[in-house]
Amino acid sequence: MSPFSRLVALVLTAGIMLSGCGFHLRGSGPLLAGDWALEGLPVGDAFAGEFDRALLGAGGHKPVSVTKADGVIHVYRLLRLRRPITLGRFGRANEFDLAFRLVYDIRDAKGETISPRQEIELHRDYFNDQSQPIAQDEEELQIRAEMLREIAQTLIRRVTYILDGKPAAKS
C-alpha cells in the first residue's frame, strides 16, 4: 500500500469514527425550533425578510398566520437613522453614522409576555466618497442590508437564550 493510500484510509477512518460517536460542531443543531411570527412591521419590510431567513437558518419556521405560531416577536419600533458626522471641504457631509434601533418583546402562543420590551441597537460609520457618487448609494444600501441581517441574527440568538431559561439580556 502506498503512503498516499494509507493517508486516505486514515482520514476516511477518522471521519467515519467521528461521525458515529455523536460529535457535532458547536451551534450545528437547531437553535430555535417551532413556528415563530414577527408582527408589528409593515408588509414587505426588509427586516421581515431577513428575520425569515435567519429563522429558517436557526431551525425555526414561519407560521401561516400569527394565531398558529408557537411564539410571537412583537416589534414596537424599528428606526433607521442616518446622521452626518463630518463635513468635507465644500461643506457637504462625507461621513455618516448609520443606525438601526429595534424595540420588541417576546410573547407565547397565548399572547402572554415571555420577555418584556428590549432594544437592539446597531451602529456603523460610513464614509461617503464624494468623488464616486454612483457607487456611494449602492455601498450604503449594502451596509444597511448587512446591518439588518446582523440585527435579525441577534434577535434569533436572544430569543433562543431566553427560551433556554436564561434571564432576559439588557442592551
pLDDT reported for residue 54: 93
Q: What is the CA radius of gyration of the chain?
A: 22
Give 169's pLDDT tier (boundaries 50, 70, 90): very low
- CATH architecture, domain defined by 31-163: 2-Layer Sandwich (3.30)
Average pLDDT of the residues in 42-55: 92
C-alpha cell at 11: 482520514
Strand ranges inside the chain, DSSP E? 36-39, 71-87, 93-108, 113-127
How does 83-115 read in b/e, with b if 16+ C-beta sit within 10 Å? Answer: eeeeeeeeeeebebebebbbbbbbbebeeeeeb
Question: Which pLDDT belongs to residue 22?
Answer: 54
CB atoms < 10 A from the CB of 54, how many?
22
Q: Are 111 and 125 in contact (CB under 8 A)?
A: no
Query: Average model confidence (pLDDT) for the chain?
Result: 84
Residue 134 has pLDDT above 50, yes or no: yes
Reported pTM: 0.74
